[in-house]
Chains A and B, each alone.
Chain A
Amino acid sequence: MLTAQATSTAVSATDIAISLGLLVAVYAVLGLLWLFLVVREISHGPAPAPAGVVEEETLPLPSAGPLLRPAGGPMAGSGR
């Protein structure tokens, strides 16, 4: 069955145009509002961390661990 054969004969081209225009308009407005909210969120930046929470960058590096072995060590060339 071709697309042309499968269209509904009870729905007019005008109805299709109206509904398509309606959905395009709604999603265009929603897209712009979403953009506004994203830009606003970025311009505000992240909220400050609550008191008592230590940020990740300030944590000391682990003194030794399997992920900190020098290149060429046992972890290198593991096939991943």
Chain B
Amino acid sequence: MDLATIWFLLIGVLLVGYAILDGFDLGAGILHLFVARDDTERRTVLNAIAPVWDGNEVWLLTAGGALFAAFPPVYATVFSGFYLALMLLLVALILRAVSLEFRSKVEAPAWRATWDVIFAIGSFLPALLLGVAVGNVLRGVPLDAAGDYRDGLLGLLNPFALLVGLLAVAMFTLQGASWLVLKTEGAIAERSRTAARLGWPVFAVLWIAATLFSSQDAPGLWDNFANPLAWLVPIAFAVVAVAYPLALRTRRELLAFLLSSGSIAGLIGIMGVSLYPNLVPALGGASPSLTVGNASSSDLTLTVMLAVALIGMPIVIAYTAFIYSRFRGKVRAEGHGY
């Protein structure tokens, strides 16, 4: 396996880590207006993500940094071409973080209700925008002769990308519901369980719709499935996704959360299998697609990065596991917290 392919996989791992970990943060934010009815319940939901939400967002920064170093032309094309969408994402993440901090500063109900709405919007928008961005990458983007995308924000809002955007919202909402079932108790946990039970068929329908749509709008995504081994990933995804509602029904909360996380990993795995060796498929023929072959850094750069990753990743995984074990168990709106 060549170095560029190893980095294709490692960036995929970082994206999976981000989607699983920040996915439940964003999902809890999207859901909290519905599963938490009063101030104490909303504080409980916030406390369920309080110790970890900001650390979880670092996975996205790391994936962006790794993309910049390993595949600079891809970083340049995506971050310039999707500029306004990414700025909107940034503003949403800023408002989300501020709403968490500002909410508890004043006890007035109107103040807190306003920040609750901002928190929900600030959680929904990143999920949608990330999904739309991924949808466009999967579909392919029209690149000019210089390898740039110039159709702006409106050019990104095509039906397939919007469908993938909704799929991302459903996926993160399901993950958030699974986390809240695991971390809360009483009425919040029951409402979250209901949200997960209702959310799962929506997620499944959106995934089937996006898959069917892709055969029309992005037929190149099916090329790799000529190899029978490629089917292992969607089969694993289907098994995990089908087992999820069973775990939920039998009240195996940790298993349900792990299965929800597994379905996220499976879905991103399917996208990776579909894309490889492309990173940004080009539409229109003015420029070649950006691939692991023509868009990677030098072997020296990739080797140094790999050495850093091999040292750094175990440390990151170890302290992440430590933090989650320290904060295991159910949370309440008591003592320290939001």
Contact = CB atoms under 8 A, between A and B. Distances in A.
Interface of A: 8-12, 15, 18-19, 22-23, 26, 30, 33, 37, 40
A8 B147 CA distance: 12
A30 B98 contact: yes
Contacts of B150: 10
Interface in B122-177: 146, 148-150, 152
A10 B84 contact: no
11 contacts: A8-B76, A10-B149, A11-B83, A15-B83, A18-B87, A19-B87, A22-B87, A23-B87, A26-B91, A26-B95, A37-B106
Given A9-B148, A10-B77, A40-B106, 13 more contacts: A9-B146, A10-B83, A10-B149, A11-B83, A12-B152, A15-B152, A19-B87, A22-B88, A23-B87, A30-B98, A33-B102, A37-B102, A37-B106
Nearest to B87: A19
Nearest to A20: B87
A18 B77 CA distance: 20
Interface in B59-82: 76-77, 80-81
Given A8-B80, A10-B80, A11-B83, A23 B152 contact: no
Nearest to B146: A9
Per DSSP, are chain B's interface residues mostly helix, strand or loop, or mixed? helix
Contacts of B84: 15, 18-19
Interface in B79-107: 80-81, 83-84, 87-88, 91, 94-95, 98, 102, 105-106
Interface residues of B, number: 20
Contacts of B87: 18-19, 22-23
A65 B48 CA distance: 50
Contacts of A11: 80, 83
A11 B106 CA distance: 40
Contacts of B94: 26
Nearest to B149: A10
Max chain B Cβ within 10 angstroms of own Cβ: one of A10, A15, A22, A37: A10
B283 to A, nearest CB: 16
A26 B81 CA distance: 23
